Amino acid sequence: MIRLDNLTKVFDTPKGAVTAADHISMEVPSGEICILLGPSGCGKTTTLKMINRIIRPTSGKVFINGEDTTSLDTQDLRRNIGYVIQQIGLFPNMTIEENITVVPKLLGWDKARYRERAREMMHMIALEPDAFLKRYPSELSGGQQQRIGVARALAADPPVMLMDEPFGAIDPINRAVIQDEFLKMQQDLKKTIMFVSHDIDEAIKMGDRIAIFRAGKLVQYSEPDELLAAPKNDFVESFLGEDRALKRLNLVKVRDLASEEIGLVRPDDTLDTALQRIESYGYVNSIVMVNHKRQPVGIITAAVARTTQGHCRDHYQSVPVVVSLDDDLRKVASLMFAHDMTWVPCVDDDGRIVGQVTQRAITHHLGSRYRAHSKEDDGAALGEASPSSATKE
């Protein structure tokens, strides 16, 4: 757990005092990723660097697992905090192996143990140990270097990690890959992580919590869905963008709003039955046909059911579009648009149909949170500028 208590940094510059971080108080529970997000110069890096005392706080305290870090030896503190700097910062005079094992060596691990650890780390970041350990940083691509930077920070297995735009220097495609790999690692490692970003999509994807900064102040600290649903003020709202409702789709899983109620037909049902069900369930185009295990085998279209007589088994078409319970709503919405559907069936791990997600359920879910929010402080909401006028400023 990381807790910041009124952490403040004032830089003395020739032009006067600059308050880079202004009484920041927040808490990151153990095992969670907290994203520090905000426009350039708002104090994210300063806040992060005060945690491992690269920058000395002007006032305020940092607690790690309940312990006041001012009482700890600075070098010990840093060796127990993984630190990924924005500029990667691999030591060019050391091999990849030496770079990765630098903290274990400082901590006095024996040679066999830290060499073994280097190989372990390489597997974790999906780079071939034999091919890379003896190379030098200048012989690696930017993306590979960035992974080594993460490996170096993780090598001594510190409980806490600080990461300053760790994936900033990578092209969007590789960034998405590394983000996914990192999230997968985090599921096992359960580190407590402070992560600086100025990319909202990255924040929503990676963060268990997001802290929005503005001019040295912490403006809002919420879970991503809460943040998108209920931005605290105009600044947060305009910073998140006008498509924040769509961004929320990433965060909601099919599991969260699937309804068990779904109309299906069996191969033995007649096309008449199929047509009745299409109408009674309000499906405009088609209905799914399942086998005896409730696995989808095809669809009966309304057009066929209306014009033809006979059994479903003789008249079904193509395998229907289905989504799994762990898919996010963004994928669902995308499929709905692509296939002109107002609903999609969802399946469990065995491919059995367990329910459906409808377009109405999605819009209702997104809308309900907004309504709940605007009711809470409707007086203030009326007085505030609308999002469109806020962005014009």
Partner 1 sequence: MELLQYFLDNLELLGTLTLEHISLVGVAVGIATLTGVPIGIAITKNERIAKTVLYIASIIVTIPSIALFGIMIPILSIIGHGIGYLPAVIAVLLYSQLPIIRNTYTAINNVDPALREAARGVGMSQNQRLRMVEIPLAVPVIMAGVRTAVVLNIGVMAIAAYIGAGGLGTLISRGISQSDPRQLILGAVAVSVLAIIVDYALLALQKRLTPKGMERAAAAT
Residues in touch with partner 1 (CB under 8 A):
52, 54, 75-79, 83, 85-95, 102-103, 106, 136-139, 152
Binding to Mg ion (CB under 5 A) within 13-52 occurs at 45
Question: Shortest gap between Cβ of 26 and ligand ATP (angstroms)?
Answer: 15
206 vs 366, which CB is nearer to ligand ATP?
206
Helix ranges restricted to H, the chain: 44-51, 74-79, 96-100, 102-106, 111-124, 129-132, 142-154, 172-189, 200-206, 224-229, 234-240, 244-249, 254-257, 271-280, 302-307, 329-339, 359-376, 378-383, 387-392
Sign of torsion over alpha carbons 262, 267, 269, 275: positive
Sign of torsion over alpha carbons 191, 196, 202, 205: positive
Count of residues in contact with ligand ATP, rule CB under 6 A: 13
45 vs 99, which CB is nearer to Mg ion?
45
Question: Shortest gap between Cβ of 190 and partner 1 (angstroms)?
Answer: 22
Count of residues in contact with Mg ion, rule CB under 5 A: 1
Give SS3 for 85: coil
The Cβ of residue 114 has, within 10 Å, a number of other Cβ atoms equal to: 21
CA 294 to chain centre: 33
Residue 44 makes contact with ligand ATP by CB under 6 A: yes
Can you tell me which of 4, 34, 35, 46 binds ligand ATP, judged by CB under 6 A?
Answer: 46
Give SS3 for 220: strand
Give SS3 for 7: strand
Can you tell me which of 2, 4, 20, 304 binds ligand ATP, judged by CB under 6 A?
Answer: 20
CB 365 within 8 A of CB 331: no
DSSP-assigned letters across all residues of 120-141: HHHHHTT--HHHHTTS-GGGS-
Question: Shortest gap between Cβ of 158 and partner 1 (angstroms)?
Answer: 10
Question: Shortest gap between Cβ of 33 and ligand ATP (angstroms)?
Answer: 18
- Which among ligand ATP, Mg ion, partner 1, none contacts residue 41 (Cβ within 5 to 8 A by kind)? ligand ATP
Q: Which residues contact 39 (CB under 8 A, 6 or more apart)?
A: 198, 214, 239
Strand 286-290 to 81-84 pairing: unpaired
Residue 147 makes contact with ligand ATP by CB under 6 A: no
42 vs 290, which CB is nearer to ligand ATP?
42
91 vs 337, which CB is nearer to partner 1?
91
Spatial separation of the C-alpha atoms in residues 9 and 55, rounded to whole Å: 8
- Which among ligand ATP, Mg ion, partner 1, none contacts residue 43 (Cβ within 5 to 8 A by kind)? ligand ATP
41 vs 310, which CB is nearer to ligand ATP?
41
74 vs 291, which CB is nearer to partner 1?
74
- Which among partner 1, Mg ion, ligand ATP, none contacts residue 46 (Cβ within 5 to 8 A by kind)? ligand ATP
198 vs 248, which CB is nearer to ligand ATP?
198
Residue 175 makes contact with ligand ATP by CB under 6 A: no
Residue type, 55: I
Question: Shortest gap between Cβ of 319 and ligand ATP (angstroms)?
Answer: 47
CB 49 within 8 A of CB 6: no
Spatial separation of the C-alpha atoms in residues 361 and 367, rounded to whole Å: 10
Can you tell me which of 2, 3, 33, 43 binds ligand ATP, judged by CB under 6 A?
Answer: 43
Residue 17 makes contact with ligand ATP by CB under 6 A: no
Question: Shortest gap between Cβ of 39 and partner 1 (angstroms)?
Answer: 22
Q: Which residues contact 382 (CB under 8 A, 6 or more apart)?
A: none
- Which among Mg ion, partner 1, ligand ATP, none contacts residue 136 (Cβ within 5 to 8 A by kind)? partner 1
140 vs 346, which CB is nearer to partner 1?
140
- Which among ligand ATP, partner 1, Mg ion, none contacts residue 337 (Cβ within 5 to 8 A by kind)? none
Spatial separation of the C-alpha atoms in residues 55 and 51, rounded to whole Å: 8
163 vs 344, which CB is nearer to Mg ion?
163
Residues that bind ligand ATP (CB under 6 A): 11, 13, 18, 20, 38, 40-46, 198
Residues that bind Mg ion (CB under 5 A): 45
